[in-house]
Structure 1
Amino acid sequence: MIISALVQNREGNHQVSLCTNDNVHTLAISPKSTGFGSSANGGELLFLALATCYCNDIYREAAKKGIRIESVEVEVAGEFGSDGEPAKNVRYHAKIAAHASEEVIRLLGSETDRLAEIQNTLRVGTPVTLSEIEAVSV
């Protein structure tokens, strides 16, 4: 699976395109009130990625086990310090309503935490490389 994200920004205009393999879709995020940049910051989007991954994976893992999920709520919180400092104290809380016993639901939640790809990407400290800077003089 190949995944990419594209942000295109100029004064008063912010566009986000997401792609998994050949499936392209957009995400509506307005520009900052100053006109430049995104109204959502990277920390918020990182935490959204964690919440989204866990939510989607709950449904995936439940389907494998024949568990019918009624609803999932995931809240991720953490702290960022000064410019350039990584996040710390990142934690998340999940509320899972399903047609199963509380014990089975908790087991599903724990197993999903171990399998969640975004969580595991952060846990192992995957390197991120800036491959190129294309400079355009105007």
Structure 2
Amino acid sequence: MRITATVRQESTRRDVAVETDGRRTDLALPAVNGGELLASALATCFVNDLFREAPAHDVTVDAVRVTVEAQFGGRGEPARALSYSVHVESGDDPVRVAALVRATDAVAEVHNTLRPALPVTLTDVRIGSA
């Protein structure tokens, strides 16, 4: 799978386009910084992967909320910490849902891309019904 992202910035306008294997999507993206986009990428990756992995674990997911926190230092310094919490709404057995969350954490591609340089830590899992 080949993914590209292109950002064109003018003084009053930002155009963003992403593409996966030739399928292009234009995004309306307000002025945000790279750290915010990194946190959004981690959250989006986990949400997508959780829904992808759920059928293999025979778990129904009604909704999921992922909150990512990135700690950055001064100008030019890399992130010092990346962590995230997950809240899954599901009527299935909470033990099975929690196992799904842990399995998804192990295969989340964006997380695993960053992990060789910096830990990406799952700090909290909450399971509730819809």
TM tier, smaller:
0.7 to 0.9
User: Does the residue aligned with 1:124 lie in a helix, a strand or coil?
Assistant: coil
Show CA shifts across 1:11-65 (max 9, x none).
Answer: 11100000000110011113xxxxxxxx100000000000000000000000222
Which residue identity is paired with 1:50?
Answer: L
- In 2, Cα distance between the equivalents of 1:110 and 1:71? 17
CA distance in 2, matches of 1:64, 1:104: 12
Where structure 1 has 5 or more consecutive residues not aligned to the other structure, the ranges are 31-38, 126-138
CA offset at residue 97 of structure 1? 1.3
Aligned-residue RMSD, C-alpha:
1.3
Instruction: State TM-score, norm by structure 1.
Output: 0.81
Show structure 2 runs of 5+ residues with no match: 118-130
Cα displacement (A) at 1:88: 1.4
Structure number with the bigger relative contact order (C-alpha 8 A, sep ≥ 6) is 2
Task: Give 2:73's match in structure 1, choosing from 81, 85, 91.
Answer: 81
Other-structure match for 2:92: 100
TM-superposed deviation, 1:4: 0.4
Structure 1 or 2: larger strand share?
2
- Structure 1 position 89, deviation (Å): 2.1
Contact 2:59 2:96 in 1 (8 A): no
Aligned-pair identity in percent equals 37
Query: How many correspondences in the alignment?
Result: 118
Q: 35, 42, 51: which one pairs with 2:34?
A: 42
Q: Radius of gyration: which is bigger? A: 1
> Would you say 1:23 and 2:15 are equivalent positions?
no
Which of 48, 63, 79 does residue 56 from structure 1 map onto? 48
User: Aligned partners of 2:20 and 2:98: how far apart in 1?
Assistant: 30
Instruction: Give the whole-Å Cα distance in 2 for the aligned partners of 1:14 and 1:63.
Output: 38
